[in-house]
A and B are shown apart, each in its own frame.
Chain A
Amino acid sequence: MIEKTVAELSAAMTSGDISSVELTQSYLDRIHKANDSLNAFITVCDDTALEQARVADKSRAQGNQNPLLGIPLAHKDIFCTTGIKTTCGSKMLHNFISPYNATVVDKFNQAGVVTLGKTNMDEFAMGSSNETSFFGPVRNPWDLEKVPGGSSGGSAAAVAADLCAMATGTDTGGSIRQPAAFCGVTGFKPSYGRVSRWGMIAFASSLDQAGPICKSAEDAALMMNVMAGIDLKDSTSADREVEDYTATLSDSVKGLRIGIPKQHFTEGLSADVEKSIREALREYEAAGAILKEINLPNSHLSVPAYYVVAPAEASANLSRFDGVRYGHRCDNPLDLEDMYKRSRSEGFGDEVKRRILIGTYALSAGFYDAYYRKAQKIRRLIKNDFDEAFKEVDVIAGPTSPHTAFGIGAKTDPVTMYLEDIYTIAVNLAGLPGISIPAGFSNDLPIGLHIVGPDFGESKVLNAAHQFQLFTDWHKAKPAAKGGI
């Protein structure tokens, strides 16, 4: 039962085939069996999960028909949760218990969802492999020697290996979509502002966005129906009506205009990934979609611009960790400055410190125009490229990542790691919705297809992804069948 989608589990609970308590216990058993190998969870909440499941079962008996009622979920450990520690993958917050819930957490609680625990992640969401976590790397369920991607690697690995039915993630430059691609699951980053950022520990505030990691596009739509919406506590949450994202899933892709960016099929792309993506696009064509080559001429500048904007915003956001109000404080500080410096240097890992340094430099006196302002201008060019493209196409499709999951410890140079997100980062800079869905394998490792929509075009993206999952079975493949866990 644990391998089923949220939609299937919901139907099984409605028909009385299984209770939420039974289902929750099955996932907890699976976590306790597999987490030693995967390291996908930082915290597991056996008792409160079973209590939430009992409440859900009672509520269902009383007529509650919420499709997510009693479904077991895992939250990325970046979402604040009362009563459960929220570490953000950092020593800085290794024992932090938030006094409030993130809005996303509140919304899932109100829907009657069961929280199984909190998933591992790159420290402060800074990484593309989950290797920067203070709690150790997550392992890819398809091959334990490979990374699961990052930063939402724990969530993606947990969904792939059936340690939960669905999970939350966050995506600043690809942190939902790239791990979804590496782990063979569905990962959706909504438009900037579609989901509240309240209580989601900030990395880069003009780029961060929360979204679902799950087993199908249909499940992503069900989760989005809960997650999306304006939140007065987040002044950047969008004041726009929330659609029923399940309502348009069954629309045909006949006549759908799919843009293929020529810049995403150049020498950096591995041949096996290209082959699978081309085949996926032919599937769309066979179903009546129209493929059209498009031009995103500034896409090669997205990684450089991102590595100014994101670190600059991060250096400001992470200045709150001062050893005074919460988080790690060093022993026996000599004076205030010594306390700040040693608390931060002991509490943050190397990658986080590097990004704080880059951001501090980019914002420092005399360099602002050359770096931050320049990056914002490039950001405009990238956004303009997408605006132009969406005059001619409905969605844009290509590879999520240039290759499949790489080995743990294989990429030690930060710049090489940064280039991992070459196809996903521009989408964050422009604030657009994007999804990664399974589209094939190479050497038994999953390949992700990336579909991007225009501003607030989540329905179109989810519809296109769902239709692909109706005429292919890639999303149903399981790691255990290919020698994984």
Chain B
Amino acid sequence: MALDKAEVEKIAHLARLHISEADTEEVTTRITDILTLIDQMKTVDTESVEPLAHPLDMVQRFRADVVTETNTREQLQDLAPESQDGLYLVPKVIE
């Protein structure tokens, strides 16, 4: 399936990626090539096939609802580009 530039821009927005004007055409071509490869799936009838989401036939394990982790807030926030008073800083979102 061929995509046009507007569709690629829409997907990029959904993925929160910025694609420059100069790159849009090449990205569109590449993505279309990949979708052509993927479209080979259409050659097989899968009407009655049960989807396989995961290779292991298992259910999620439960554990007791008790605290197992220690508080590493400071260590984790040390990794942040910007933090202050235990909070992550981002550009202003509310006027």
Chain A positions within 8 Å of B, measured between CB atoms, are 96-97, 99, 191-193, 206, 232, 235-236, 238-239, 298, 300-301, 303-305, 307-308, 315, 319, 322-329, 333-342, 344-345, 348, 353-354, 356-358, 360-362, 364, 371, 373-381, 383, 413-415, 418, 429-432
Contact B34 A325 (CB under 8 A): no
Contact A383 B41 (CB under 8 A): no
Contact A192 B56 (CB under 8 A): yes
**Bound-state Cα–Cα, A353 to B34, Å:** 13
Contacts of B72 in A (CB 8 A): 99
**How near does chain A come to B23, taking the closest CB pair, in angstroms?**
9
Contacts of B42 in A (CB 8 A): 374
**How near does chain B come to A193, taking the closest CB pair, in angstroms?**
5
- Residue from the set A96, A337, A360 with the largest chain B CB neighbour count within 10 Å: A360
5 contacts between A and B (CB under 8 A): A298-B44, A339-B90, A357-B11, A373-B51, A432-B55
Contact A380 B82 (CB under 8 A): no
Residue interface mask B8-20, A partner, CB < 8 A = 1: 1001101111110
Interface range on chain B (Cβ under 8 Å from partner): 35 or more
B38 interfacial contact with A, CB 8 Å: yes
**How near does chain B come to A398, taking the closest CB pair, in angstroms?**
20
Contacts of A232 in B (CB 8 A): 61, 63
Contact B80 A324 (CB under 8 A): yes
Q: A329-B82, A354-B31 are in contact. Are A238 and B56 (CB under 8 A)?
A: yes
Q: A193-B56, A236-B56 are in contact. Are A357 and B33 (CB under 8 A)?
A: no
Q: In the complex, which of the residues B31, B44, B54 contacts A378, with contact meaning CB atoms closer than 8 Å?
A: B44
Contacts of A322 in B (CB 8 A): 16
Contact A206 B60 (CB under 8 A): no
Chain B, interface SS category: loop
- Residue from the set B14, B36, B42 with the largest chain A CB neighbour count within 10 Å: B14
**Bound-state Cα–Cα, A345 to B33, Å:** 22
B81 interfacial contact with A, CB 8 Å: yes
**Bound-state Cα–Cα, A333 to B82, Å:** 12
B86 interfacial contact with A, CB 8 Å: no
Contact B38 A380 (CB under 8 A): no
Contacts of B53 in A (CB 8 A): 206, 376
**How near does chain B come to A46, taking the closest CB pair, in angstroms?**
25
Contact A304 B37 (CB under 8 A): yes
Contact A325 B80 (CB under 8 A): yes
Known: A336-B90, A361-B3, A432-B55. 7 other contacts (CB 8 A): A238-B58, A301-B44, A304-B39, A319-B16, A358-B35, A371-B38, A380-B51
Contact B44 A345 (CB under 8 A): no
B5 interfacial contact with A, CB 8 Å: no
Q: In the complex, which of the residues B27, B35, B37, B61 contacts A239, with contact meaning CB atoms closer than 8 Å?
A: B61
